[in-house]
């Protein structure tokens, strides 16, 4: 889950196994819900059990990879991915490639999801593009 964006069917299957584990009794064939699933997924401080939403957890782990690529530009992974997908060094302005790897497609999806929450600092102004950057 930390490298690839899991398909929706896999995430639903994992989520179903979580809920079945929680609600299944000794009969193993039948189960009934005592508490709604949304309540179980709430943080413990808010009255839930803190069970994670698998889709959001998958995106969070991919977001960690995005963060690593942004902050560690001297790694081999950054050099390989940037040479093919974002030659200017900016992940947020990646070029479209016809046959992108599944790893890059997953990271690009997380990048698009996280794009709105990211901010940037001006610094020395070298990396500012007043025509294309959202300001």
CA-wise closest residue to 84 among 65, 63, 105, 64: 105
Spatial distance between the Cα atoms of 59 and 131, rounded to a whole number of angstroms: 30
Domain extents in the chain: 8-46, 54-117
User: How many Å from the N-terminal Cα to the C-terminal Cα in the chain?
Assistant: 33
Q: Convert the pLDDT of each residue in 95-115 to its tens digit.
A: 888 888 898 999 998 888 887
Low-confidence ranges of the chain (pLDDT < 50): none
Contact 81, 104 (CB under 8 A): yes
Cβ atoms of residues 92 and 44 within 8 Å: no
């Amino acid at each position: 889950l930390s490298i690839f964006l899991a398909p929706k069917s896999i995430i639903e299957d994992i989520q179903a196994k979580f809920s079945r584990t929680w609600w299944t009794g000794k009969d193993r064939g039948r189960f009934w819900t005592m508490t709604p699933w949304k309540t179980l997924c709430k943080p413990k401080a808010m009255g839930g059990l803190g069970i994670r939403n698998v889709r959001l957890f998958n995106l969070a782990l991919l977001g960690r990879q995005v963060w690593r690529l942004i902050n560690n530009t001297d790694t081999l992974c950054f050099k390989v991915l940037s040479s093919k997908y974002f030659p200017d060094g900016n992940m947020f302005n990646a070029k479209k490639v016809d046959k992108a790897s599944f790893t890059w497609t997953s990271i690009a999806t997380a990048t698009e999801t996280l794009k709105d929450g990211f901010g940037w600092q001006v610094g020395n102004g070298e990396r500012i593009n007043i025509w294309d950057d959202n300001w």
